Amino acid sequence: MYKLNNKVQHYTWGSRTALTDRFGIANPQQSPMAELWMGAHPSASSQIFIRGAWHSLEKEIADNPLVMLGQATWNNYRQLPFLMKILAADQPLSIQVHPNLIAAKAGFERENIQGIPLNHPNRNYRDANHKPELIYALSPFTALNGFKPFAEIIQSLQALENRLPAVNLFIKNPTANTLRQLFITYLRLKDEQKHQALTQLLRVAKATKGEPWLTIVRLATYWPEDVGVFMPLLLNMIRLKPGQAMYLTAGTPHTYLQGVGIEIMANSDNVLRAGLTDKHVDINELVKNVSFKETSLEKLIFPPSRHKGIDDYDVPADDFALSVITLPTSCCFNTNDYPVLIFCLEGKCTLDIPNTQLTLNLGESAFIPAHNGAFNLEGQGTCVMATVGGKTRTVKGG
């Protein structure tokens, strides 16, 4: 097992203080620290200390795939299939959608044939993988996720002045097709028509209490001329309490608005953006990947299964599973020939296998190769464990 050296991503929406205050991560330049990446993604692989020096985890996996990943993971994925992050948002992220696996493979191949470089700003697909993800809140966490029930969308739209034809059409006949037309209409607003629609929207929002109006006003402070400001009319407002989690599927429009959380996902960086961004937006490709269905709020909170101080989040995707482990319970786990990532969320924890012991302090993490087999976890505090599709299970616990 190996302690990790992880990379911080300095995106503009990130917090300047949250990762330092919570985990002691230095920020001498006082720049926004948006995400701490733990995993082997090619663009920001963690490093492990091996053979007397720091080496890329991605390269070590490539050089020793069966030892590091195990036979089943290598056969199914040819890489570490998950990526875990600590996300700290002070400002809203872009409104976005993730493609499913079929669309990601097709889009990646198509753009490769077109000769678009992987790092080109207009590239839609940076890999051939889907990106289901789970966010586990460490602080009060707000997000938009999925289309609201149609009746709730209508209630918001009816408050608008001088409504667009697509708005009136949806109010009269709320279907997936009219929602699609409305969504596209908002995204394609240009110039004076866009300015007028946003001005009218903000006039109503500032004069109306509650949601979605408060969020619309907040978004407009950051993106006053962006069509993403319309999205709270259509999408569910989510407020996670610390310890609650939310699962995001392919085809679901969403954004994170504010908060600190643990994010785990398939090992992908595929994002199709709809708004609240100055990055590339491809409306045609985005709409092809959106699922225009209503989702009730209660279905978006993802509950764990709980047993002896362990909360297991067994998501529908096979790429990853997350467990939150409350110590001082002494637990024995087995990798079952699957790779494991451990992050110390609170306090201190010790990993113990025969002839080897590794202590993780607050904010530190470790990679346990698949071939390690059984390991003990002890300490005082809370640890987070990521693995492949829930394959690692407690052998015994106190």
| 393 vs 42 pLDDT, higher one | 42
Name residue 340's beta-bridge partners.
368
SS3 103: helix
Beta-carbon contacts of 228 under 8 Å, excluding residues fewer than 6 positions away, are 94, 95, 219, 255, 274, 275, 276, 277
pTM: 0.93
Is residue 102 within a helix (H) or strand (E), and if so which, with residue range?
helix 101-113
The whole-number average pLDDT for the span 174-184 is 98
Q: Is the pLDDT of residue 167 over 80?
A: yes
* pLDDT of the residue at 61: 97
Tell me how far apart the alpha carbons of residues 266 and 250 are, in angstroms, rounded to a whole number.
Answer: 11
110 is catalytic: no
Pick from 96, 137, 133: nearest CA to 268 = 133
Residue 390: predicted pLDDT: 55
Q: Catalytic residue among 78, 180, 273, 306, which?
A: 273
Between 119 and 140, the higher pLDDT residue: 140
Is the pLDDT at 141 greater than 80? The verdict is yes
CB-based burial of residue 268 (10 Å sphere; 0-12 exposed, 13-18 middle, 19+ buried)?
buried
Given a cut of 90, whether residue 342 has pLDDT beyond it is yes
CB 37 within 8 A of CB 6: yes
pLDDT of res. 197: 96
* Beta pairing, strands 141-147 & 235-240: antiparallel
Peptide bond just before 232 cis, omega within 30 deg:
no
In tens, the pLDDT along 76-130 reads 999 999 999 999 999 999 999 999 999 999 999 999 999 999 989 999 999 999 9
* Among 92, 376, 77, CA closest to 216: 92
